[in-house]
Structures are given as C-alpha cells and as structure tokens.
Amino acid sequence: MALLQIAEPGQSEAPHQRRLAVGIDLGTTNSLVAAVRSGMADVLADENGHRSVPSVVRYTPGCSPVVGHAAATGSGDSRSTIRSAKRLMGKGATDLVDSWLCRHYRFDLDSGSVPAFLTADGPRTAIEVSAAILGRLKHTAEAALGGELVGAVVTVPAYFDDAQRQATKDAASLAGLQVLRLMNEPTAAAVAYGLDNEEEGIVAIYDLGGGTFDISLLKLQRGVFEVLATAGNTELGGDDIDNAIVQWLMDKACIERLADENAEAAAKVYARSLKEALSTSASVDVDWRDDAGHHVLCQLSIEEFNDISRPLVMQTLKPCRQVLRDAGIDREDVTAVVMVGGSTRVPLVRDSVAAFFERDVLTSIDPDEVVAIGAAIQANILAGNKAGSDLLLLDVTPLSLGLEIMGGLVEKIIPRNTTIPIARGQEFTTYKDAQTAMALHVVQGERELVEDCRSLARFELAGIPARVAGAARIQVLFQVDADGLLTVSALERDSGVVASVNVKPSYGLSDGEIENMLRDSMKHAGEDMQKRVLREQKVEAARVLEALAAALQADGDEHLDAEERARIDDLVRQLSDVLQHSTDREVIRQAVHALERGSGDFVERRMNASVRKMMSGQGIDAMDEAVGKARHEACTSDP
C-alpha cells in the first residue's frame, strides 16, 4: 500500500506532486547528476550502475556521439575523442596559443572566433561537446526519477567569466535542459556541508578538480552562505599531475615523445592508475610499455610521487594566500577547510592544505560528489519542493566591472568580490558643449587604465539634449544577476532617453588571464596610481585648452587687445607643449594654473558682458537668475 502524505496548512494541495529538478556537476574530467529523494541528496547512477560519467565524447561519421565510459575506454580516432572540452568553454581562437589541447586535437578556426574540434563527424565546438554530456546526464536523471525534469542547477568554476557562464547556459539549452541557476562549484560544496553539519564561521573551500583549481572563503551563519573572496587557476588540475607522471615515465624510458595521440592517451590512463593507487599505498609497482616497445619496470614510492607532484601542489597555495589577503583575515580565522575534487585524495594535497591552514581538512562527503549534492539541494529549493527554506546563497564577482572615462581611465562601478546579485549605479555627465551622444565602454579588470583591462562591450546613448558641458545627468546602472551575467544600462534623467546592453562576449579570458590580472594589479598598484593621476591631470589640461579655445573663437577679439591675446596664446602654446611632452603631473598642473591666471581677466570680462547682455531690457527681479546663469556658463565653458 502506498503511503499517504498530509499537507501542512498553506502548503500545496498536492504535496505528492514533486517537481523533478537536479544538480549537475559539469566537470572537466568527470560529470555527475544528483537529486533530492526522500529528503536526502544523492548522486544518480546510470543503467550500468555508474555514478559518474567521464566528460569524454567520441564522434564517428554519420552516427550519434558516444558519451562517457564507452567513449573513454573504447577504441577509435583519438582526435575525434574529445576530452577536457570544458577548458575551451567560452574561449576564442587566440586562447589556443600554448594550450595543451593544440597538441592533441585539430581545430577549425575559419568559421569564426569560436574554435571547433575537427572530428570524423565534422567540426564540434566545446558547447556542443558539453551539450552531449549534459544530454546524457539528463537521460540518466529522467530514467532514475521516472519523469521529465523541470530544470537543473549547473555548477561552474568560481572563476568562470561572463562568456564561459553563457557558454554553459547555451550547452544546457542545446541539451534540452532548463537552467534554474548557474552555481559556483565551491558554493555548492558549502551548501552540502553547511546543511548537513550546520557549520558556522569562515570556511575555506579547496577545489582541485581534473582541469581547474578554485579556492573560496565563505562565511556561513544561520543558513546564509556568503562568499568573502575567491581565487584560483583555470589551467591547473589533476590532469596536470597525470601529465607529470607521464613525463616521469618517459624520462625513465629515455624517450622525448610518445608515438602518437593514442599512445599519449594510454599513458595518461596508466599514470592516473598509479596516482590513484598511491592515494592509499606507500608504493606501487610500475610495469609500463608503450607501443614503440619502450619498457619501464620499477617501483614508484609515495616519496618520489610527492617530489613529482609537489611543484603543482605548491602552485595551489598561492591563491590560498591571496584569498586571505582579499578577505582581510588570518589563517586562524578559518574554522573549517572543505576538500572538493577527486585530486584532493592525493595525500600530499591534503597534508599541504592542512599544514597551510593549520587544521585538519574535511572529507566526510565524497569529494567527487559533494558539488553535485550541493547543486541538487539548491535545485530542490528552486523547484519549490522545500517550502519555507531559509537557504540564501551570496556569490561574488571575481573581477571588477567598470566604464572607460576620459583619458583612458577605468571607473570601477562594481569592485571585485562584491556579493551578487547586485545592482549599482553611478552618475556621469557630458565632456563637451552641445554633446548629444555618449559612447560607453564596459571593461573588466583591476588595473587603472583601460588598455590593461579586458573589454566586455560597447554601446551608445544617443538623443542627449544639447547643453553646456557638465549639465546633462546620465545614470549608468550595472546589474549582475545570480548567474554572474551582466547588464549595463544608461539613462539621461531629464529627457528619459535610455540604452542598454547585455554583456555576452563571443570569447572568454585567455589561459590564466584572471589570475594574471589579479597578480598584475597588485604588482603594479603604485605605478598604476601614478599613471592615473597623470592621466587625470592631462584630461583636466585638455579640458581647459578646449574650453579656452572655444571662448577665444567666440569673442576673443571683442574682449582682448593684441598684447593680451598674444600673452594668452603664448600660455596656450606652453601648456600644449607640456601636455604633449611632459610626464610630470606637477609640471602640467603648474602650466594649467599659469594659463588660468593669465586668462582670468578675459574670463571676468566675458562674464560681465554676458550679464549685461542678459539684463538688457529685463527687470530687477531677473538679476539673480541672470548672474547665476552667466557664472555657470563662464565656469563651464572657460577655464
């Protein structure tokens, strides 16, 4: 007999009708799908009992793609068997430079800025490869749950930028999945541990997967998960440890390269088996032979394996130091360290992280499954299956977002590590008299100059009423949604004209660009600030020259004799020369002040003449208004 469910007052009249939603961990090496059943989140197994699916897709001519274990273990053209496609999500052709993918695959670079793997069944983009994996997970979930999904929470690395997040959404859409939300992988792990253990305090989420590394600091308190800071390396993971072991094998065999891609793939599989064996053993016997007949017969100890992998593990501790600095906390403030990702099973990884944070690390939830479980918990809430849930997720922006202003400077609107979703505005104005349009350039990065940041989008606000410079009021609004996607809008307050853009760039950041941007911003902080104040002084000097030129052209002959005009022209030449050749802010500032002093009498005469003209034929009541208007025009049009 089926059990009946009784609804509490205010709940659904049909509580047994659950909306089927899942959490998906779309990984570089392996992917998983999980769901909440009977109040517990668990990873769903496919028809063969496999709980994880290798993120591998094999293409053959005229056939449907083979996904998962069959693709990873079966024979076939290695160049048509695509692995680690996640590393190219949202990336452009220029990002292939120095990428290890170039050594394993051929690419079609003629169809546009998005590179496509050349397979036996034609070109396939990283989005299409990911869609095939997501489609397989969707099939597994619907078979296990016995119904159609209403949506999924799909996880992404915390350092995925706008383009990479949008590419993930596109892949899900191509697979027929409704994305309820994109969720940072470290945040998903925090959800799993936070709900299960009711942890409070500051938690470090150390996530070392197959192809990416993320470290996040999260503040957990009474159901609120707030990301304080994030850092990472988009090009570092367990795959790199496997590659290091392959290189060790090649060194032992005294060979410089393997025969072909199939030999390289087989060597990586063998290297991975050695790594996994050493996670639980002090040594492992090595009996490796490649297709060319080279043979390695020896023993690999845990000590030697640690020497091989230590340089890579130490690289992960640099972002750990960075997040502590960004959050403004000390190591002793961290109350727990959660290990995520299969590569955290390596003893050296756990020992190094424990030593760094000076505390034991948490591994009670399977590190391969914790992200999918957290995503499933969030999906269950978003689907409306957990009434009254007080779970709140607060992610952060990984890099600052801002606008280009005069002088090629960056005005940051949303600083990095700002909690999202967020909407933040700032008011700007026109630079020139009678300016009727404004070009807006949206940028991302930590440096002070536009040339050192990443361009995201450009758009134009037209129809601004023609007024003197500085009179228009233009409100620019930046909005970042819960998925980290950006919308920028501009509104001229008096006229009501508006323009906006959704930031969906066609390609993502180049390899390691995010971490390089953060490192460069700290390295060049003092230099950047000096450049900024110099640029600001140059912008001010150019404004003075432009305003004075307009004033002289309008009525310079009327208010100046030849000697006065020559003196002002000489000061203008001096400032122009200094502006062009000097890099000393103080020298430029003094030249500006000299020109302002030298043209002071001219400015005063113009103001008086303007007042007399405005007062002609007017009553005494209009005097205050006329004087105020004249002063405004003199101050905004002249130096």
Q: Indicate which residues carry an active-site annotation.
A: 25, 86, 185, 207
- Which tokens hold the place of 298? 């020896």
Strand, coil or helix: 281: coil
- How far apart are alpha carbons 311 and 67 in whole angstroms? 33
Q: How far is CA 506 from the centre of its chain?
A: 14
Q: Which two tokens stand for residue 100?
A: 């290890």
Give which of 557, 556, 563 is closest to 603, Cα–Cα. 556
Asked if 245 and 302 count as a contact pair (C-beta separation under 8 A), the reply is: no
Contact 516, 233 (CB under 8 A): no
Q: What is the C-alpha to C-alpha distance for residues 344 and 365, in angstroms, rounded to an integer?
A: 12
Give the integer Cα–Cα distance in Å for 496 and 463.
Answer: 9
- Residue 65 CB burial class (10 angstroms; 0-12, 13-18, ≥19): buried
Cis bond upstream, residue 415 (ω within 30)? no
CA–CA gap between residue 185 and residue 171 (Å, rounded): 17
Contact by Cβ (8 Å): 168, 125: no
- Give the sign of the dihedral formed by CA 295, CA 296, CA 298, CA 299: negative
Which helix (H) or strand (E) segment holds residue 298: the answer is: strand 295-301
H or E stretch covering 325: helix 302-327
Q: How far apart are CA 231 and CA 248, in angstroms?
A: 30
